[in-house]
Amino acid sequence: MPTGVAMRDVREQLFDAAERVLLQDGPSALTSRAVTAEAGCAKGVLHRHFTDFDDFLAEFVLDRAHRMDAQAATLREAAGTGTVVGNIAGALTAVFESVALAMLPLITFRDELRARLRKTWPAGLPVIAEAVEMIASYLAAEREIGRVAADAEVDVLAPTVIGAAHLLFADRTGPPPGPEAVRKTVTTVIAGVVRA
């Protein structure tokens, strides 16, 4: 980008560029140079808005984790409609076909990024923790209306279904699992608590 041309919503443009790099080339390709090149700006633009690259990455991860709030609200509002398995399977597919899956190795292998995230997110991986909360909240809503058993341990079922789904989607080199595979996994995890 030529000098003197103002960028609008710089943070958002940089976050969007980071997401594209992460999805196209994986976490090892995510560098400040790759992000700024993808955003079409000078490298100094990133450093004017963030103290360093790990600060940028921490803000990027938190931004994307908080974007799940709308998806969580939509899923919770779906309680009582469709099928429990179908609603969860759709939500899991949306989570794991997004940038969430690519963020996991990024967070896992960058010690400084994890350390910075711990300052505002004391436990768990932000994207996964949000997904677990989303599923638990939905299952609790279904439990309240009787489509999930009253004694269902939603705080155990939610991370179990997230973990099982993560294993389905974890292979970034192959095709993503089809809808039937996701539904089968969800059914296997929650079959004992779903009521007709």
2 assigned to some structural domain = no
Question: Residue 185: which residues within 8 A CB-CB, separation 6 or more?
Answer: 89, 161, 164, 165, 168
Task: Give 127-179 pLDDT, tens digit per residue.
Answer: 788 889 999 999 999 999 999 999 999 999 999 999 999 999 887 677 889 99
Assigned domain for 95 exists: yes
Q: Which of these ranges, 8-12, 37-41, 137-141, has the smallest mean pLDDT?
A: 8-12
Percent of the chain surpassing pLDDT 70: 94
Residues 128 and 31 in one domain: no
DSSP states of 5-34: PPPSSHHHHHHHHHHHHHHHH-GGG--HHH
20 lies in the same domain as 82: no
**Can you give the length of the chain in residues?**
196
pLDDT number for residue 173 = 73
Residue 56 lies in a domain: no
| Mean per-residue pLDDT of the chain | 89
Q: What is the mean pLDDT of residues 39-66?
A: 91
User: Is residue 70 domain-shared with residue 37, that is, in the same domain?
Assistant: no
- The tokens of 47 are what? 């450093």
In which domain, by residue range, is 44 found? 10-49
Helices (H) and strands (E) in the chain, counts: 11, 0
Has residue 57 been placed in a domain? no
19 domain residue, yes or no:
yes
pLDDT category at 96 given cuts 50, 70, 90 is confident
Cα–Cα distance, 41 to 64 (Å, whole number): 22
- pLDDT for 125: 74
Please count the structural domains in the chain: 2
Higher-pLDDT residue of 46 and 100 is 46
Q: Residue 60 falls within a domain, yes or no? A: no
pTM: 0.81
Whether residue 157 is contained in a domain is answered as yes
The pLDDT, as a whole number, for residue 7 is: 57
Supply the CATH number for residue 24's domain.
1.10.10.60
How confident is the model over 13-29, as a mean pLDDT?
92
- Burial bucket for residue 3 (CB in 10 Å: 0-12, 13-18, 19+): exposed
Residue 86 shares a structural domain with residue 37:
no
Between CA 69 and CA 175 the distance in angstroms is 27
Is 189 within 8 Å of 160 (Cβ atoms)? Answer: yes
